[in-house]
Chains A and B, each alone.
Chain A
Amino acid sequence: EAGVTQFPSHSVIEKGQTVTLRCDPISGHDNLYWYRRVMGKEIKFLLHFVKESKQDESGMPNNRFLAERTGGTYSTLKVQPAELEDSGVYFCASSQDRVGVGYTFGSGTRLTVV
């Protein structure tokens, strides 16, 4: 089966610009998560979708970040406008609909804001 796919793998944008990251989860996985690792710090949870609904968005840093999952398939994470501190690696993960099965992560999108 195909894994979790993230696009683009790298993005370099200027401060103030907009960037949209995309994640395609494993087919059949209702749960989709976004995490990020900034400046070599720990990987932190951003939000969790169950199908198209936001189950938990407590990790979203501010209203410059908007995540969507229309139709309950792929998800996008938009950063608008991007700030320098948004630089880091953004990971997407998906899992089956129960706790304790482990998560499948994508390769991440490395975002650099200059």
Chain B
Amino acid sequence: SQQGEEDPQALSIQEGENATMNCSYKTSINNLQWYRQNSGRGLVHLILIRSNEREKHSGRLRVTLDTSKKSSSLLITASRAADTASYFCATEGGAQKLVFGQGTRLTINP
């Protein structure tokens, strides 16, 4: 298994519904970050949660972190067509580098 595994690998929902993506990791971390990648474009930083935080909000995004279970979740509320993208979690440990998961492909259907 890889560090930063995401679940599910693909998710398809109707516009207006909530989308939840999960991420698990293996080693100790300083923080966990979520990124979005629209097709053919770069990675966009969405939100960062530190290891001593349990929940964080940013607009329609809610991130939780459970360090005892080494897992995180990203909730997107009231989804929109523009939210269609791939979402990646990435952990940052002692070194300044990110370890990414394989990503969740989210499709919002109109």
B97 touches A33 (CB 8 A): yes
A44–B102 Cα distance when bound, in Å, is 10
Mostly helix, strand, loop or mixed at chain B's interface? strand
Question: Within 8 Å of chain B (Cβ to Cβ): is A100?
Answer: yes
| Contact pattern, A 49-77, Cβ under 8 Å of B = 1, otherwise 0 | 00000011001000000000000000000
A105 with B2: in contact, given A42-B101, A48-B96 (CB under 8 Å)?
Answer: no
Closest chain-B Cβ to A88's Cβ sits at a distance in Å of 13
Partner of A104, one of B41, B45, B48, B103: B45
Shortest distance from the beta carbon of B100 to any chain A beta carbon, whole Å = 4
From 76 to 110 in chain B, residues with beta carbon under 8 angstroms from any chain A beta carbon are 88, 90, 92, 95-103
B42: chain A residues within 8 A (beta carbon): 4, 6, 91, 105-108
A-B contact count (CB 8 A): 63
Tell me which residues from 10 to 34 in chain B have a Cβ below 8 Å from any Cβ of chain A: 30-31, 33
- Cα-based distance from A91 to B41 in the complex (angstroms): 10
Interface residues on B, range: 20 to 34
Interface size on A, residues (CB 8 A): 27
A59: chain B residues within 8 A (beta carbon): 97
Name 26 A/B residue pairs within 8 A (Cβ), A-sorted: A33-B97, A35-B98, A42-B2, A42-B100, A42-B101, A42-B102, A42-B103, A43-B43, A43-B88, A43-B90, A43-B98, A45-B97, A48-B95, A56-B95, A59-B97, A91-B43, A93-B43, A95-B96, A99-B92, A100-B31, A100-B92, A101-B48, A103-B33, A104-B45, A106-B42, A107-B41
Footprint of B on A, CB under 8 Å?
A: 4, 6, 31, 33, 35, 41-45, 48, 55-56, 59, 91, 93, 95, 99-108
